Amino acid sequence: LPPPTPAATDPARPGYPAPTENPQAGYPAPTESAPPEESTPTQPTAQPITQPTTPTGSSLIGLPPLTAANASVVTLLQSLSLFQDARITWSQDGTQFAVFHPFSSGEIRLYALASGTPALIEIDGHPLSVNGVAFSPDGTQLASTGQDGTLRIWDTATGNQLFNQIITFQSATFADSVEFSPDGTKVALFVSPESALYLYNFPLANTPPTILAWTEHAAPVVSVYPAPDWQTFAWVGRGTLVWMNADGTFRGEQVSHEDFIMNVLYAPDSTRLFIQTAQTINNTSAGVVIVYDVQTGQPLQTLAHPDFVTASALSPDTATLAASSANTVTLWDWATGTEKLSISTPNLAQTLAFSPDGSLLAGTFNGGVIQVWDVATGQVLATLQPGGELFGVRFVMGGTVLAAMQYDGTVQFLGVAPE
């Protein structure tokens, strides 16, 4: 594959105004402009579904960590109504989340849980709809990008805008998403029509980005997944995968899969990549999770399932991979390719999430059902139905709260109520 398109080097080109000193956080002064014209099997004991319908009003501060000993008494503590089809992004420490609607206004709602209840800051800076947001690793700043073709930075404590730059793209008019590097030194914009990643040093200044591009891909790249160290980037097409180094050179050959790549996970040390897809095994199509060595691009394990894999998650210590298929959640020792546990479930788990200490696993199901399992035994600790259909669940507030996110825009906060 040829090297990527070189980055522009002229800081005076359109879209990169000359820096003007701004005392606020060391950023250049914001620039405003009109938007572009277009823009081994375990059978768990059956558990009754509990339906906590009324929040207790309990504070989310000072709660005990969720464990196998107390998960059976989890109840609904607070409920927050947002709007249908809300997109929710959480801060790294799980104490803040940002909400936007990708097909509506440019408003961003920022909620902080530090006071024990969601405190709202409304950010209304994008004139057109927002495409993506990302928190800095320390949670003090929020990056956003939208249909107006800008990259903006916000102070999460005040909602004040710290930086605003109109991006000059090669052919597109806006970016699809934005992401911070884990060390907070870079911000990336992914531009699907260009199959390109725009990398900026952070804090931002009015200087051109480094542009990494997969120019030989026949169709637009679906997404780019940076390794946690941001030294390797996994470029994913519909069923294709290729690795690129941070300098734009390619690592290994393009890998093609029989089916779409549905999920991508990295080990925290950036040495392993897990992809969720399907392939033919013994003349039968099976759902698989393939484990790759990031350095060599070679597959290490293929974890086969009886049907399509609908969800997967990696434990915090990376020793266990959870995957859902055919009304079963399997816990794998992925390094050896052996099953640790097989847990029967009500139906297909749609999403999976480990607790921060890796002792619990939560899954969401049709009908708004949540199950919480003991990772050591596979026992069902709780079966909950706090509300409507769910698109995700996450352990937040240091693992003391389980946040359940519904398609109707409701966020339910569950935990162990104080005595």
CATH code of 287's domain: 2.130.10.10
Please indicate, yes or no, if residue 141 is contained in any of the structural domains. yes
pLDDT at 218: 61
Measured in degrees and rounded to the nearest 5, phi and psi for residue 365 equal: -140, 165
Cβ(267)–Cβ(314) below 8 Å: yes
Tokens linked to 72? 């059976």
Please indicate, yes or no, if residue 7 is contained in any of the structural domains. no
Please indicate, yes or no, if residue 399 is contained in any of the structural domains. yes
Please indicate, yes or no, if residue 350 is contained in any of the structural domains. yes
Bridging pattern class, strands 150-155 and 196-201: unpaired
Q: Say how far apart CA 137 and CA 304 lie, in whole Å.
A: 35
- Domain with 98 in it: 49-415
Please indicate, yes or no, if residue 3 is contained in any of the structural domains. no
Measured in degrees and rounded to the nearest 5, phi and psi for residue 205 equal: -140, 170
pLDDT at 128: 95
pLDDT at 46: 37
Please indicate, yes or no, if residue 33 is contained in any of the structural domains. no
pLDDT at 163: 94
3-state DSSP assignment of residue 193: helix
CB under 8 A, 24+ apart: contacts of 348-352: 348/310, 348/324, 349/310, 349/311, 349/324, 350/310, 350/311, 350/324, 350/390, 350/391, 351/311, 351/390, 351/391, 351/392, 351/393, 352/311, 352/312, 352/313, 352/322, 352/323, 352/324
Q: Could you give the maximum distance between any two Cα atoms of the chain, in Å? A: 67
Tally of domains within the chain: 1
Tokens linked to 55? 């929040």
User: Positive or negative CA dihedral for 49, 53, 59, 60?
Assistant: positive
Please indicate, yes or no, if residue 37 is contained in any of the structural domains. no
pLDDT < 50: residue spans in the chain: 1-53
Tokens linked to 300? 């290490």
Q: Enter the pTM of the model.
A: 0.84
Q: Say how far apart CA 196 and CA 388 lie, in whole Å.
A: 37
pLDDT at 314: 97
Bridging pattern class, strands 338-344 and 41-42: parallel
Please indicate, yes or no, if residue 349 is contained in any of the structural domains. yes
